């Protein structure tokens, strides 16, 4: 068999009028080979004739199973067809024939208009973050990328539960200063699987936007934000160390400012230059979204603690037996009784912690001694007084309802 170079040379010499016998003599090949090369419009290609292998007797049965179940694992196929040889050799042959049985899924090229959509996703940085109790954990980062401008925002959050996901989205939208007309999500359980969770639906209604859950196997519609996740791991993470989630957020926010000023190849522009055009076509940001975050209404028991996520927080024991309102965001846990603030703590991101205010322990000891008849409750003891109602301060500064016009 002649080489591609000889094939090209034969055709060039023939085109120059050199006799076929002369071409055969110069190249040391037969005249028949010269005739075949001149007649062939394609360069020669070596093709090995198919040979029977140990997999050949099983191939028809494997293909029949793949017609019915294209993603059936090779180990299951081997069991079904009675294969007893090398599983690696069998898997290599299955992978070769599997491509003929997978359904075709064309990928369209999508275009995005200004203000139309933001793609949302969770990124898990491949490094554990130091928490308050000295342990380390892999924490989710909520990433929001505006589809038109490619402008990126992100924040690390404690959990992937609905309350924290919505708090994170509200924080990022507040930073953006506008609301895209659509927020695109995969089927994240905290947002919804097939159907939005009730809090997510309320959140979308409060913003007058739409949270769209994408269908399975639709990576193109959310490919922009997913490619950013890989970009973060190669461009942001290397060589960095983080002392806390807050330290991670500070470093990441600072780096995003630089990343958003880089030219994006696909749009040939910098996100920071397009974001104002994007925002101008978005919906206005409402002043506040009600019922956001962790909320609970319960009767405070003798064990004067309330639970938020997996951690317990102490409450002033004077509220024992009464109904209290518990609220929490990404940073604070607050408890109110009758409109008065009876507890405020920094929220802990570590799991299973017990957070105690020493003043609450002291007040509990005083109340316990009084209940047992050993000591009376001190009159005017500031440790036993609840925080004043905000309305008291309004009246003190002449801002009570009667003084407003």
pLDDT band at 372 (very low <50, low <70, confident <90, very high): confident
Q: Which ranges constitute the DSSP H helices of 109-190?
A: 162-176
| Angle at alpha carbon of residue 25, lines to 19 and 31, rounded to 5° | 65
pLDDT band at 82 (very low <50, low <70, confident <90, very high): very high
Q: Domains of the chain: which residue ranges?
A: 4-39, 56-98, 117-280, 294-395
Q: What is the CATH number of domain 117-280?
A: 3.30.420.10
Average pLDDT taken over every residue of the chain: 88
Least confident of 173-187, 195-209, 324-338, 359-373: 359-373
Least confident of 106-115, 199-208, 253-262, 384-393: 384-393
pTM score, two decimals?
0.71
β-sheet bridge partners, residue 378: none
Digit-coded pLDDT (tens) for 380-390:
555 555 444 44
The predicted structure's pLDDT at residue 109: 64
The predicted structure's pLDDT at residue 378: 63
C-beta separation of 366 from 384 below 8 A: yes
User: Would the pLDDT of 399 be above 80?
Assistant: no
Mark 245-275 as b/e (b = at least 16 C-beta within 10 Å).
beebbeebeebbeebbeeebeeeeebbbebb
CA 144 to chain centre: 9
Whole-number Å distance between alpha carbons of 389 and 398: 15
Token couple for 140: 């989710």
The predicted structure's pLDDT at residue 402: 43
Measured between alpha carbons, how far is residue 167 from residues 115, 172, 252, 293 in Å? 22, 9, 18, 6
Highest mean pLDDT: which range of 148-162, 187-201, 225-239: 148-162
User: Which among 134, 196, 147, 190 is positioned nearest to 167, based on CA atoms?
Assistant: 190
DSSP 3-state assignment of 59? helix
User: Would the pLDDT of 242 be above 70?
Assistant: yes
Digit-coded pLDDT (tens) for 86-145:
999 999 999 999 988 888 766 556 778 999 999 999 999 999 999 999 999 999 999 999
C-beta separation of 304 from 316 below 8 A: yes
β-sheet bridge partners, residue 211: 183
């Amino acid at each position: 068999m002649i080489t591609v170079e000889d094939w090209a040379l034969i055709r060039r010499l023939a085109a120059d009028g050199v006799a076929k016998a002369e071409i055969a003599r110069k190249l040391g090949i037969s005249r028949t080979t010269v005739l075949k090369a001149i007649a062939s419009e394609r360069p020669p290609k070596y093709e090995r004739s198919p040979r029977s292998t140990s997999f050949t007797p099983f191939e028809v049965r494997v293909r029949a199973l793949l017609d019915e179940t294209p993603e059936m694992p090779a180990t299951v196929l081997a069991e079904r067809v009675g294969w007893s040889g090398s599983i690696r050799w069998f898997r290599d042959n299955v992978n070769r024939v599997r491509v003929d049985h997978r359904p075709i899924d064309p990928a369209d090229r999508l275009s995005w208009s200004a203000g139309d959509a933001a793609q949302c996703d969770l990124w898990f940085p491949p490094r554990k973050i130091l928490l308050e109790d000295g342990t380390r954990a892999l924490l989710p980062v909520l990433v929001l990328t505006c589809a038109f401008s490619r402008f990126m925002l992100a924040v690390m959050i404690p959990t992937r539960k609905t309350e924290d996901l919505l708090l994170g989205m509200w924080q990022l939208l507040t930073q953006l200063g506008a609301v895209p007309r659509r927020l695109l999500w995969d089927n994240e359980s905290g947002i919804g699987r097939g159907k939005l969770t009730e809090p997510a639906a309320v959140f979308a209604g409060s913003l007058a936007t739409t949270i769209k859950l994408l269908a399975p196997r639709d990576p193109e519609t959310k490919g922009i934000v997913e490619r950013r996740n890989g970009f973060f791991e190669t461009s942001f993470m290397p060589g960095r160390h983080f002392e806390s989630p807050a330290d991670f957020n500070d470093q990441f926010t600072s780096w995003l400012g630089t990343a958003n000023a880089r030219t994006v190849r696909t749009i040939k522009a910098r996100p920071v230059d397009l974001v104002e055009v994007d925002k101008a076509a978005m919906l206005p940001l409402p002043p506040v979204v009600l019922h956001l975050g962790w909320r609970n209404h319960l009767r405070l028991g003798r064990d004067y603690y309330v639970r938020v996520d997996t951690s317990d927080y102490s409450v002033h024991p004077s509220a024992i037996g009464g109904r209290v309102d518990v609220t929490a965001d990404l940073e604070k846990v607050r408890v109110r009784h009758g409109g008065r603030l009876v507890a405020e703590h920094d929220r802990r991101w570590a799991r299973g912690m017990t957070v105690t205010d020493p003043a609450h322990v002291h007040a509990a000891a005083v109340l316990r001694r009084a209940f047992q008849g050993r000591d009376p409750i001190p009159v005017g003891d500031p440790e036993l007084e609840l925080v004043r109602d905000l309305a008291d301060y309004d009246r003190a500064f002449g801002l009570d309802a009667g003084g407003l016009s």
